[in-house]
Amino acid sequence: MTLAPVYPHAPAVSCSALTGSAIRRLKGLCPALDADVAEPGSRTPQGWADGAELAGRPEFLDALLAAEALRVEHDHGRTPRPDVAASRALHDYLWSVGLLMSGPWCLERRVPRIRPQDVRVSLTTGAFSVVPGGFACLPGDPAAGLPGVRVLPHEEALRAELRAGFADHLRPLLAAIAPRVRRGPRALWGMAGDDLVSGVWYLGRMLGEEEAGVRAATELLPEPVPPFPGGADFRRLAGREDRSYPTRTRAGCCLYYTIRPDEACGTCPRTGDAERLRRIEGERPG
């Protein structure tokens, strides 16, 4: 799943400018991604915290989770348990950061280097902003010679870079939030793998290339790759008129079913295949 990238030809272009352009392009394609590009060297705004602060300063994490609980109460009319609010906030972080890293890989075969301190989260709205930096790419990329660009030899090396970069970004936050979500490392890394796969799948749908998104997600996580305990594990649902649809079952639960018991996620273990088909075919014409 790769669109033909449009590369700036200005000699003074920087790798951070290219990364920022890729993120803006990604946001334009993905309505569910609430993320802006921050200016390199800028300070984190008041009322926001970066990923390192969320992991290292409990008061910032407390504020983020309290705001998530208020949003759930406002949107759904029920007060979530503390572990549910923490799980929902974590899911949003995992999915957003996963897509911010995997999206440029899908679109341009560039894997941005996004450190925890490069991601900022509003402690009131949950919106994200990203300070763009360097990236990894393949030898044929026109940006391969720029400072801050790491050139990798082949596609699998680029996929490994994406998996490792995502895992390195998450380790401090998962350790900090584990007591709040009341889950162990395997469940937390299961959530992380789910959201990495989910972001690639979602981007494929937004591009009108769902099957390509499924293939890309499967190539990214073809099987358990530590620390991720499971692969993409897509399977097919047989629908009407000999149609079939991709689906998968999450390894780590986001606990949405505790907020809307009758509306568990489409990939939740609690959602059977018949219900999945009903939803899918109800959303698609003909």
Confidence at residue 57, expressed as pLDDT on a 0 to 100 scale: 96
Residue ranges covered by each domain of the chain: 15-233
Confidence at residue 10, expressed as pLDDT on a 0 to 100 scale: 39
- What would the two tokens of residue 190 be? 């299961």
| Residue 284 pLDDT level (bands cut at 50, 70, 90) | low
pLDDT above 60 for 240: yes
Cα 137 from Cα 150, distance rounded (Å): 6
pLDDT above 50 for 285: no
- What would the two tokens of residue 251 be? 């390894």
Give tens-digit pLDDT for 22-47.
999 999 999 999 999 999 989 999 99
CB atoms within 10 A of CB 233: 18
Using N-to-C axis directions, what is the helix angle for 155-181 and 82-108, rounded to 10°? 170
Question: What global pTM score does this model have?
Answer: 0.93
Give the residue ranges of DSSP H helices in 109-246.
Answer: 155-181, 185-206, 210-220
Confidence at residue 12, expressed as pLDDT on a 0 to 100 scale: 54
- What would the two tokens of residue 222 be? 């073809």
pLDDT above 90 for 56: yes
Q: What is the mean pLDDT of residues 215-223?
A: 97
Edge-first strand listing for the sheet containing 119-122? 35-37, 128-130, 119-122, 48-50
Percentage, residues of the chain above pLDDT 90: 76
| Residue 6 pLDDT level (bands cut at 50, 70, 90) | very low
How far apart, in Å, do the first and last CA atoms of the chain sit?
26
Radius of gyration of the chain (CA): 19
- Among 56-65, 228-237, 241-250, the minimum mean pLDDT is found in 241-250
Give the residue ranges of DSSP H helices in the chain.
Answer: 15-29, 51-56, 58-76, 82-108, 155-181, 185-206, 210-220, 273-283
Q: How far is CA 240 from the centre of its chain?
A: 31
> Who contacts 34 (Cβ-Cβ below 8 Å, separation ≥6)?
96, 126, 127, 128
- What would the two tokens of residue 74 be? 């406002």
Strand pairing of 128-130 and 35-37?
A: parallel
Structure letter (DSSP) for residue 78: S
Give tens-digit pLDDT for 64-116.
999 999 999 998 888 999 999 999 999 999 999 999 999 999 999 999 999 99
Cα 1 from Cα 215, distance rounded (Å): 8
- What would the two tokens of residue 1 be? 């799943």
Average pLDDT over the chain, rounded to whole?
Answer: 91
Q: 3-state DSSP call for residue 135?
A: strand
